[in-house]
Amino acid sequence: MSDDKSYKEYLANITTFIFDVDGVLTDGTITVTTEGEMLRTMSIKDGFALKTAIDAGYNLCIISGGSNEGVRKRLAALGIKDIFLGAHNKIEQLNSYLEQYNISKSQVLYMGDDIPDFPVMELVGLPCCPQDAVPEIKAISKYISHKTGGKGAVRDVIEQVLKVHGKWNGNFNAKYD
């Protein structure tokens, strides 16, 4: 992006985290069973960070083109209430969510990894991506995690925001599994 500010200057404004699923909360691979079920793997460390952010009062939202109900159950078990799966128009979902909770786009950290995330990432205050995102997404990200999708990239950004706000060490009794 053409913005000269360091991504760290945006962290203090963040009140809301929005994440894609495949390639962000997962490593982007799918295991297909003989019955045709598509299985994904998620990091417990990312789960801990998501739960910690919720317990600290941050807004959390998932906007994904995928529609795996196992993913919905996992994220709901962590306490995420706003889960939009099968979202083919991510801008529409973003705008609806922000309007519902009266959130400014400048307060949003969005992490995506691939072309469907591009339009949304252009609109938010802090567009981020995992280290293994596609080049087009890296080009518009204000922060590129040193971690890959499904392997700690989500925890990386959550931990940084919560540390800036002095809220990272406050809740080590969160249940995250």
In angstroms, the CA 8 to CA 39 distance is 35
How far apart CA 50 and CA 154 sit, in angstroms, is: 8
C-alpha distances out from residue 68 to 29, 86, 112, 125, 171, Å: 13, 9, 18, 28, 30
User: Does 113 appear as a known binding residue?
Assistant: yes
What phi and psi, each to the nearest 5 degrees, are found at residue 63?
A: -130, 110
Strands of the chain, DSSP E: 16-19, 31-32, 38-39, 59-63, 82-84, 108-111, 126-129, 143-144
Q: Report d(CA 20, CA 129) in Å as an integer.
A: 10
Residue 82 annotated as lining a ligand binding site: no
Amino acid at 68: N
Binding-site positions for substrate read 22
Binding-site positions read 20, 22, 113
Binding-site positions for Mg(2+) read 20, 113
